[in-house]
């Protein structure tokens, strides 16, 4: 049976990524909804699909994908969700609106959330193409990636329905990990937005500082990218060998200089995660 799908926010960043993967799928009939004229035009030019600003298609949809900004989901879902037919499924692309309880809930609907893991830094595959190595986000067809999925409300069967469509949106998908919304929120924002992104930003700042102090950029980049490979290998247990004694000493001494006491708990604790989710899902000064 052909399922009717509405992609809300089709001309945004995620909508533009998802559209080419789903537009020609025979088992789904897709309607594209986009309120920005500029984004609708970009969608038409890049992917040849026509969108509408009105939400009429939502009424008969089996699946509605919320590819709209997290800050708008509270208002947009309060408008869209009441129009949906009983048994239909909301698909969220981020756990924040679901964990933060801003997504409009109805007992007779299903709620599924998916987030791509993105192509791995270390794919460990023979013959991986340059296009795959340069596929930073995933879902372009070049590199495989995994995804995490959660059923916020619904049965195992509903989960399967959500996963099947999510596999298309982000194809080619390798593994789909079924986790809970509470677990997904620890992955994002806590782990990857509040911890790994600032750590990588710190690395970039240190690289720029070496260049400013006169080391040629090419030499800095070659040195740091190579050392990062060894360091990920050792610290994530891929390599199976330790650092030198000197490297271990420098690492231990610098930890106290760079990290504040309790930094990890300060970000991963419940209140901090809830505040981060609130910031993501509400307009500034809300
Ligand atoms: N951008 C990313 O890298 C990324 C990655 C993973 C998940 N996500 C999630 O995907 C979702 C969308 O994020 P994005 O970055 O694509 O947002 P975006 O701001 O790039 O695009 C959102 C689009 O929604 C449109 N829009 C707003 N209100 C609308 C409405 N009422 N009806 C129809 N269209 C409407 C906007 O005009 C815009 O084109 C968010 O939940 C985000 O957390 C984003």
pLDDT band at 113 (very low <50, low <70, confident <90, very high): very high
| Residue at a domain's end among 179, 214, 245 | 179
Give percent of the chain with pLDDT exceeding 70.
99
Dist. CA 244 → ligand 1 center (Å) = 46
Which atom number of ligand 1 is nearest to the Cα of residue 17? 16
Dist. CA 85 → ligand 1 center (Å) = 23
Q: Are residues 164 and 191 in the same domain?
A: no
pTM: 0.96
Please report whether residue 219 resides in a domain. yes
Residues 202, 228 contacting (CB under 8 angstroms): no
Dist. CA 86 → ligand 1 center (Å) = 25
Would the pLDDT of 14 be above 60?
yes
Please report whether residue 163 resides in a domain. yes
Q: Are residues 114 and 209 in the same domain?
A: no
Q: Residue 122, by phi and psi: left (phi above 0), alpha (psi -120 to 50) or beta?
A: beta
Which atom number of ligand 1 is nearest to the Cα of residue 39? 39
Please report whether residue 286 resides in a domain. no
Q: Are residues 151 and 268 in the same domain?
A: no
Please report whether residue 65 resides in a domain. yes
pLDDT band at 76 (very low <50, low <70, confident <90, very high): very high
Please report whether residue 192 resides in a domain. yes
Q: Are residues 204 and 115 in the same domain?
A: no
User: Residue 187's closest CA among 95, 266, 98?
Assistant: 95
pLDDT at position 284: 59
Q: In this structure, what token pair is assigned to residue 74? A: 């509270």
Provide the domain count of the chain: 2
Which atom number of ligand 1 is nearest to the Cα of residue 55? 32
pLDDT at position 283: 76
Mean pLDDT value across residues 26-53: 98
Q: Are residues 23 and 84 in the same domain?
A: yes
Q: C-alpha angle with apex 116: 5 to 43, nearest 5 degrees?
A: 50
Mean pLDDT value across residues 250-263: 96
Q: 193-221: per-residue pLDDT in tens?
A: 999 999 999 999 999 999 999 999 999 99
Question: What is the Cα 161 distance to its own chain's centre?
Answer: 20
Q: Are residues 12 and 123 in the same domain?
A: yes
Q: 139-179: per-residue pLDDT in tens?
A: 999 999 999 999 999 999 999 999 999 999 999 999 999 99
Question: Where residue 160 sits, what CATH number does that domain have?
Answer: 3.40.50.720
Q: Are residues 243 and 172 in the same domain?
A: no
| Cβ < 6 A, ligand 1 pocket | 8-9, 11-14, 33-36, 39, 67-70, 72, 76, 93-94, 115
| Residue at a domain's end among 132, 149, 179 | 179
Q: Are residues 9 and 145 in the same domain?
A: yes
pLDDT at position 285: 44
| Residue at a domain's end among 156, 179, 202 | 179
- The preferred substitution site among 69, 70, 281 for testing ligand 1, maximizing ligand atoms within 8 Å of CB, is 69
Dist. CA 31 → ligand 1 center (Å) = 16
Q: Are residues 194 and 115 in the same domain?
A: no
Structural domain harbouring 261:
186-281
Mean pLDDT value across residues 26-54: 98
Give percent of the chain with pLDDT exceeding 90.
97
Where are the extended beta strands (E) located within 63-126?
Answer: 63-66, 89-92, 110-116
């Amino acid at each position: 049976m052909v399922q009717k799908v509405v992609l809300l926010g089709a001309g945004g960043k995620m909508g533009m990524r998802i559209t080419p993967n789903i537009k020609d799928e025979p088992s789904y009939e897709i309607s594209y909804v986009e309120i920005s004229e500029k984004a609708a035009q970009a969608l038409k030019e890049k992917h040849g699909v026509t969108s509408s600003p009105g939400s009429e298609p939502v009424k008969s949809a089996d699946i509605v994908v919320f590819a709209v900004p997290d800050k708008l989901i509270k208002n947009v879902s309060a408008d869209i969700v009441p129009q949906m037919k009983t048994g239909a499924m909301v698909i969220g692309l981020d756990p924040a609106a679901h964990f933060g309880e801003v997504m409009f809930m109805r007992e007779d609907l299903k709620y599924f959330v998916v987030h791509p893991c993105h192509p791995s830094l270390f794919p460990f595959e023979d013959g991986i193409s340059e296009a795959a190595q340069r596929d930073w986000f995933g879902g372009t067809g070049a590199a495989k990636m995994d995804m995490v999925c959660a059923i916020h409300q619904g049965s195992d069967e509903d989960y399967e329905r959500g996963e099947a469509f999510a596999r298309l949106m982000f194809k080619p998908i390798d593994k789909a990990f079924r986790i809970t919304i509470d677990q997904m929120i620890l992955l994002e924002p806590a782990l990857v937005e509040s911890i790994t992104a600032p750590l990588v930003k710190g690395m970039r700042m240190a690289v720029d500082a070496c260049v400013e102090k006169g080391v040629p950029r090419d030499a800095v980049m070659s040195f740091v990218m190579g050392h990062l490979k060894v360091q990920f290998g050792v610290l994530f247990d891929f390599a199976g060998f330790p650092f030198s004694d000197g490297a271990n000493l420098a690492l231990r001494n610098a930890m106290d200089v760079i990290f504040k006491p309790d930094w990890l708990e300060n970000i991963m604790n419940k209140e901090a995660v809830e505040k981060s989710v609130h910031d993501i899902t509400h307009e500034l000064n809300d």
